[in-house]
């Protein structure tokens, strides 16, 4: 069985991607920061509760891949967030979190997942 990692798995598009991959017999590691959203996914998915803004997120995802057979066949960097409003009014911390989710996490997962 092939293994897929889907980030933002609990969201609108992520959950649809998870359902499609499950229907194609993938083992789906569903990564999200939203525990209730992960519970709503098909029971065949493996919930991986991780916050992509936290320094430990790669360890959490890597541990899940290790437990699932040590190899990721498909990575879907789907998680994303937008900080609404004019840039000049935006809290720099929020901009940083946005960049971590939208840019840093996809790059790190692409490089690190076996």
Ligand X SMILES: NC(=O)c1ccc[n+]([C@@H]2O[C@H](COP(=O)([O-])OP(=O)(O)OC[C@H]3O[C@@H](n4cnc5c(N)ncnc54)[C@H](O)[C@@H]3O)[C@@H](O)[C@H]2O)c1
- Applying CB under 6 A, which part among 21-29, 59-67, 77-85, 86-94 lies near ligand X? 77-85
Q: Which is nearer to ligand X, 14 or 68 (CB)?
A: 14
Q: In the set 11, 27, 47, 65, which binds ligand X (CB under 6 A)? A: 11
Q: Closest distance between ligand X and the C-beta of residue 43, in Å?
A: 18
Contacts of 106-113 with C-beta under 8 Å, sequence gap 24+, read: 106/7, 106/77, 108/58, 109/5, 109/7, 109/58, 109/61, 109/75, 109/77, 110/75, 110/77, 112/58, 112/62, 113/5, 113/61, 113/62, 113/65, 113/72, 113/75
**Is position 47 an interface residue for ligand X (rule: CB under 6 A)?**
no
32 contacts ligand X (rule: CB under 6 A):
yes
Is residue 72 within the footprint of ligand X (CB under 6 A)? no
């Amino acid at each position: 069985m092939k293994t897929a990692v889907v980030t933002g798995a609990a969201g609108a598009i992520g959950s649809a991607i998870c359902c499609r991959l499950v229907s194609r017999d993938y083992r789906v590691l569903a990564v999200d920061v939203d525990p209730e959203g992960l519970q709503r996914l098909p029971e065949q998915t493996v919930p991986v509760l991780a916050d992509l803004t936290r320094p430990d997120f790669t360890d959490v995802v890597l541990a899940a891949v290790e437990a699932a057979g040590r190899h990721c066949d498909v990575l879907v960097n789907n998680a994303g967030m937008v900080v609404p409003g004019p840039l000049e009014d935006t809290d720099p911390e929020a901009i940083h979190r946005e960049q971590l989710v939208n840019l840093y996490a996809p790059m790190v997962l692409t490089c690190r997942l076996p």
